[in-house]
């Protein structure tokens, strides 16, 4: 398991390429998908749910990083006190 994680860390640009490719694929697939009657206002916008998920993930990452830096992180000498 450690070798897999090390490999992914060393080849992160390829992994980003795969993830962005999948995101683009979902948007292109949404163009050709058969649309029924929209239940939500975003259902009629092409690629809305893919972009909503990507934006939501980005917002959660920024918020969680901010919580970590401002609330959870302790000083380097916290346990020495």
Domain annotation covers residue 57: yes
Q: From CA 22, how far away is CA 30, in angstroms rounded?
A: 12
Number of domains in the chain: 1
Give the pLDDT band (50/70/90) at residue 15. confident
| CA R_g for the chain | 20
Domain annotation covers residue 80: no
The pLDDT of residue 7 is: 85
Q: State pTM to two decimals.
A: 0.55
Domain annotation covers residue 63: yes
* Per-residue H/E/C for 9-40: HHCHHHHHHHHHHHHHHHHHHHHHCCCCCCCC
Average pLDDT, the chain: 84
Of all residues in the chain, the percent with pLDDT exceeding 70 is 99
Average pLDDT over residues 5-19: 85
Average pLDDT over residues 56-61: 92
Q: Give the residue carrying structure tokens 């999948």.
A: 22
């Amino acid at each position: 398991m450690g070798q897999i994680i090390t490999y992914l860390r060393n080849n992160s640009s390829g992994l980003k390429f795969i993830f962005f490719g999948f995101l683009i694929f979902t948007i292109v697939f949404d163009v050709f998908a058969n649309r029924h009657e929209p239940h939500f206002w975003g259902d009629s916008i092409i690629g809305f749910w893919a972009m909503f998920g990507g934006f939501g993930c980005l917002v959660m990452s920024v918020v969680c990083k901010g919580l970590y830096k401002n609330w959870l992180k302790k000083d380097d000498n916290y346990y020495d006190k």
